[in-house]
Amino acid sequence: MKPSKHHNPSKHHNPSKPSKHHNPSKPESVIQSEILRYLDTIGAWHVKTITTNKRGCPDILGVHNGLMFAIEVKTKPNTPTKLQRYHLDRITSNNGLAIVAYSLTDVKHAINNDG
């Protein structure tokens, strides 16, 4: 993702199906660990939320090249709750990148293509 690239706030990265690289036997915690390692390699600032004062807060929050992103990690067939979706929509409406990730590939695609 290049700093000069403009983010389209109407875009959400929310794959309707898991990517072809999705492994249905991987638990969310393993997918989260893969994502956190990747974010380290690209130099993103990030934090894994464990307990927050805001229910429904995305699993991972971060910034890369000036773009704030939020990642909700799920395994199929799970989808974000209404409260999680609300927070993701709020982030998107404030020019952030909201990602529902079923795999590391989903995150790479969203961040590298800016949504």
Strand, coil or helix: 34: helix
**What pLDDT sits at residue 113?**
79
**What pLDDT sits at residue 6?**
39
Question: What one-character-per-residue DSSP string does 63-95 give?
Answer: EETTEEEEEEE--TT----HHHHHHHHHHHHTT
Question: How many CA atoms does the CB half-sphere of 82 hold within 13 Å?
Answer: 0
The secondary element (H helix, E strand) that includes residue 97 is: strand 97-101
**d(Cα 57, Cα 90) in Å, to the nearest integer?**
11
**pLDDT tens over the chain, length 115 residues:** 333 343 444 445 554 444 455 455 689 999 999 999 999 999 999 999 987 778 899 999 999 999 999 999 999 899 999 999 999 999 999 999 999 999 999 999 999 876 5
Strand, coil or helix: 110: helix
Q: Which residues contact 46 (CB under 8 A, 6 or more apart)?
A: 36, 39, 60, 61, 62, 63
Domains of the chain, CATH where assigned = 28-112 (3.40.1350.10)
**What pLDDT sits at residue 114?**
61
- Residue pLDDT, tens place only, 81-108: 999 999 999 999 999 999 999 999 999 9
Pairing of strands 67-73, 60-64: antiparallel
**What pLDDT sits at residue 115?**
53
**What pLDDT sits at residue 51?**
75
